[in-house]
Amino acid sequence: MKNNPATRIQELKQFGEYGDVNPSITDSATYTFLAAKTMTDTFNGESQGCFLYSRHWNPSNKYLADALAAMEGTESAWVTASGMSAITNTIMQLCNSGDHIITSIITYGGTFAFLKNYLPKFNIDVTFVDIEDLYSVEKAIRPNTKLIYTETMTNPMLQISDIPSLSELCKKNNIKLVVDNTFTPMIVSPYLLGADIVVYSLTKFVNGTNDCVAGAICSDASFINALSDVNSGTSMLLGPVLDPMRSASILKNMHTLHIRMKQHSANALFIANKLKEANLPVTYAGLPEHPRHELLKEMMNKNYGFGGIISIDMKTVEKANKFMELMQNEGVGYLAVSLGYFKTLFSNSGKSTSSEVPDEIQKKIGMSPGLVRFSVGLDDDIQNTLDKIFSCISKVE
């Protein structure tokens, strides 16, 4: 298998129905069968290349899923209506009542809320750990542990998970490793490093234009087939189907993802270096001072950089809010949640995308109340952007 995820996508041959250079878009909810037996076989999972109903599979979603599987190096993939549906479907497919999950205490707020507040109704227990402390992770394993869940780069503290070591731990204890790779598509290939399942919010970098909400699950064929089984598959039965029009749009955007990730990374590294030189409290995995910089270098694919996410600690919520309002007024970008957009986005994590995490836990994990997370955009004149950021900082101080 080629090491370059962009090359794996590029080498897919996906033509439209009439030889179109873009795959045809299917807007049918249901599909006809030329023989009744074929319909029966399809419901029983005994036929290949047939579509029965768009909640199960449709050609447009299959094109996108195949491209995602190529990018990740997995046998198969499944696309969903949101990143959260990818996360929740994966976990609910793997776990039953009475099971146990180990997860990073530093994780996206929606994921934290699902694990902490929602799963207890199903009698599924969750242990939150420092995912960088492998001893704590191993100590948390129980006989009923079904999976370890983490993010390649944690949101918003930008920790780096040691995927090969976590994989080794999981295999030794016969449990699954699920990795959210939303922050680092193409930069890191978790499945090829030993993860069993890779999930995405496609809304972010993969799509890149913030015009839709979508998710993905990438894994081996047996897990994806189980997800879509008409009798017991979580995704088939809960129905988080992605609209085919959106699938087609995301697929087109994937073909520029490698270019965009390089530019996001280059811009973020430039800003982070300049902020560091000014002795400002910046966190970026591309800086040698980042405690897991070398680990990420060992895991990452070459040529895509260290990603587009940085953070600045403005110490207090009040200073963070003033800083962000000034930046929006000066044209740095938008005060908005989400990431991976072609314009720079910024938000105060503790009061936005991590607001589901209680204040006492935010304090425990060292999340500053003034933490501002940046998703650095594709600005051509990045020096101009930097000058505006410094101007805004000076007005806050």
Where do the domains of the chain lie, and which CATH numbers do they carry? 5-254 (3.40.640.10), 257-396 (3.90.1150.10)
- Residue 2: is its pLDDT beyond 70? no
- Given this model, what pLDDT does residue 17 score? 79
Q: Distance between CA 318 and CA 298 in Å, rounded? A: 38
CA 291, 297, 301, 306 torsion-angle sign: positive
What is this structure's pTM? 0.95
396: helix, coil or strand? Answer: helix
pLDDT digits (tens, 9 = 90+) for 26-43: 889 999 888 999 888 888
- Given this model, what pLDDT does residue 47 score? 73
Find the mean pLDDT for residues 326-341. Answer: 96
Q: Distance between CA 285 and CA 386 in Å, rounded? A: 19
- Residue 248: is its pLDDT beyond 90? yes
pLDDT digits (tens, 9 = 90+) for 67-87: 999 999 999 999 999 999 999
Which of 190, 124, 179 has the alpha carbon at shortest distance from 155? 179
pLDDT, mean over the chain: 95
pLDDT digits (tens, 9 = 90+) for 287-304: 999 999 999 999 999 999
- Given this model, what pLDDT does residue 44 score? 80
Find the mean pLDDT for residues 147-164. Answer: 97
Question: Helix 317-330 crosses helix 382-396 at what angle (to 10 degrees)?
Answer: 140
Question: What is the secondary structure of 316-385 as a DSSP string?
Answer: SHHHHHHHHHHHHHHTSEEE-S----SSEEEEEGGGTTTTTS-HHHHHHTT--TTEEEEE----S-HHHH
- Residue 165: is its pLDDT beyond 90? yes
How sure is the predictor about 366, in pLDDT bands with cuts at 50, 70 and 90?
confident
Question: What is the secondary structure of 205-237 as a DSSP string?
Answer: TTT-SSS---EEEEE-HHHHHHHT-TTT-HHHH
- Given this model, what pLDDT does residue 351 score? 80
- What distance lies between CA 222 and its chain's CA centroid? 22
CA 375, 201, 165, 67 torsion-angle sign: negative
Residue type, 239: G
Q: Please, what is the Cα angle at 204 between 169 and 115, to 5 degrees?
A: 45
Q: Distance between CA 216 and CA 78 in Å, rounded? A: 6
CB 181 within 8 A of CB 211: no
Q: Distance between CA 353 and CA 30 in Å, rounded? A: 37
CA 189, 193, 198, 204 torsion-angle sign: negative
